[in-house]
Amino acid sequence: MDIENLYTSFYTKEGEVKAVNGINLSLYEKSILGVVGESGSGKSATALSIMRLLPEPGVIKSGSVHFEKLNVLELNYEELRQVRGKDMAMIFQEPLSALNPLVNIETHMQEVLQAHSSMSKKEAKDISLQLLAEFDIPYPSETLKLYPFQLSGGQIQRVMIAMSMVWQPRMLIADEITSNLDVTLQADVLDRLRRLISEKQSSIVLITHDMGVIAQLAEFVAVMYAGSIVEYSSTIDLFNKPYHPYTDALLQTIPRLDQPNRNLEQIPGNPPDLIDLPDQCPYLFRCNKATNQCRLEPRPLLRE
């Protein structure tokens, strides 16, 4: 997948919220790309733009998203329907709210299966049972009859992963899938993502604010701030030698086992208002490494 010059905005009463500002990004085959940044940095808006699932009043203003020679942003509804959910899938942030509380798990999974095939309800049920068992969900037959609110957070998360992998998609977007999970469940979910790469040959966009998760899983990392990508590199290079001051500041907020007495840093101030972005570097007023060049250009040249 290649994203080129993507701009996404939300038009509100207060003004135009510039959520994604001209990002360029590539996802390689059978790899995991981490996308990190604070809340409001544009991570989820980017994912929803890729999937063309932006809620109103969101608008994709310009750009392209090329997936296996298709520009997703130019597909009509029927063409998009053939790709989305089958070749491209997404695990949403807050899985409980992503499912219809009035519909049981069997119906949810059946709809995903029958949307891209003419299989019978019995065939869909058999595949659903197999998937739930594969993702270690206890009592699959009973689980199919349950409603989302009757499952734990970890079970819902695994159901969502199972649903997203029904058609073994070529690309999976996982948006904050470890949020609100305890450490044991988090480790289990991360292990499943590793298996998706090795067993299903999928590629994954892993969206998170947790740099520890990125260190465990991602091969490449894109750091987002104020709707822009401020740094992109391999995970090893990013942790060993961050170039952007914002990336360095994020790394300083992570507890380290090899430095138990180190005080945790915090990033002062708040991200800029996306309705009124400054002409200078958007990180300028929070940065302790700013130079005169940062006050003159929106994307100053980084140097060691």
Domain of residue 85, CATH code: 3.40.50.300
Per-residue pLDDT reduced to its tens digit, 84-95: 988 999 988 877
What's the distance, CA 65 to chain centroid? 15
For 244, the token pair is 């952007």
Angle at 57 between CA 56 and CA 58, to 5 degrees: 85
pLDDT of res. 158: 83
Question: Tokens for 114?
Answer: 């029958």
Whether 25 is covered by a domain: the verdict is yes
Burial class (CB in 10 A: 0-12, 13-18, 19+), 22: middle
Cβ contacts of residue 124 below 8 Å, gap of 6+?
A: 109, 110, 113, 114
Which residue range(s) make up the domain with 262?
A: 2-95+171-178+202-295
Query: Is 132 part of a structural domain of the chain?
Result: no
Whole-angstrom distance, CA of residue 69 vs CA of residue 255? 42
Q: Can you read off the two tokens belonging to residue 130?
A: 């197999």
Is residue 117 a part of any domain in this protein? no
- 184: in domain: no
Identity of the residue numbered 228 = S
Cβ pair 41, 271 in contact under 8 A = yes
Q: Tell me, what amino acid is at 192?
A: R
The answer to whether residues 188 and 234 touch, using CB atoms and an 8 Å cutoff, is no
274, amino acid identity: L
**Quick one: pLDDT at residue 302?**
65
In a domain, 75, yes or no: yes
In the chain, which residues have pLDDT < 50? none
pLDDT digits (tens, 9 = 90+) for 151-207: 987 788 888 888 888 888 889 999 988 776 677 777 877 887 888 787 777 899 999
Total domain count for the chain? 1
Q: Is the peptide bond before 101 cis (omega within 30 degrees of 0)?
A: no
- The answer to the question of residue 280 being in a domain is yes
pLDDT of residue 216: 87
Q: Following DSSP, what letter does each residue of 72-92 receive, concatenated?
A: GGG--HHHHHHHBTTTEEEEP
Would you say residue 162 lies in a domain? no
Q: Is residue 19 part of a domain?
A: yes
3-state secondary structure of 189: helix
Q: At what angle do helices 105-114 and 153-164 cross, to 10 degrees?
A: 10
Strands (E) in 40-144, as ranges, are 58-67, 70-71, 88-91
What pLDDT was estimated at residue 297?
74
Classified as helix, coil or strand, 191 is helix
Torsion of CA 12, 18, 24, 25, to 10 degrees: -60
| Reported pTM | 0.88
